[in-house]
Amino acid sequence: MKTLQLNEAKTHFSNVLKEVEAGNEIAISRGKTNETIAIIVPYQTWKKIKKRELGTLKGKAKVKFATDFSITDEELLNS
């Protein structure tokens, strides 16, 4: 993964986006300590990361919410 200082990333932002479009991840850092403050990833990679796992039930259960799912506060509290 390539790391760029914030000012360099701002100056060459179009080039940074071209690299991301090509599938590369870019880390952005700032300050004297080069602290990483962000990572720019391709959208498809982000989309895969965004999926949530079920924690202790990983691999044992699946959850699917219907688009018309609804529950009142009262139903939730009384269940």
Per-residue pLDDT tens over the stretch 25-53 = 999 999 889 899 999 999 988 887 766 66
Q: Is 7 left (phi over 0), alpha (psi -120 to 50) or beta?
A: alpha
In this structure, is residue 18 part of a structural domain? Answer: yes
Q: What is the pTM of this model?
A: 0.59
- With tokens 């602290």, the residue in question is 35
Average pLDDT, the chain: 87
In this structure, is residue 65 part of a structural domain? Answer: yes
Q: How far apart are CA 12 and CA 54, in angstroms?
A: 40
In this structure, is residue 66 part of a structural domain? Answer: yes
Please tell me the total count of domains within the chain.
1
Per-residue pLDDT tens over the stretch 55-69 = 777 778 777 778 888
Query: In 1-79, which ranges are continuous DSSP H helix?
Result: 6-11, 13-21, 43-50, 73-78
The CATH number given to whatever domain includes residue 54 is 3.40.1620.10
DSSP conformation class of 55? G
In this structure, is residue 8 part of a structural domain? Answer: yes
15: domain range?
2-70
In this structure, is residue 76 part of a structural domain? Answer: no
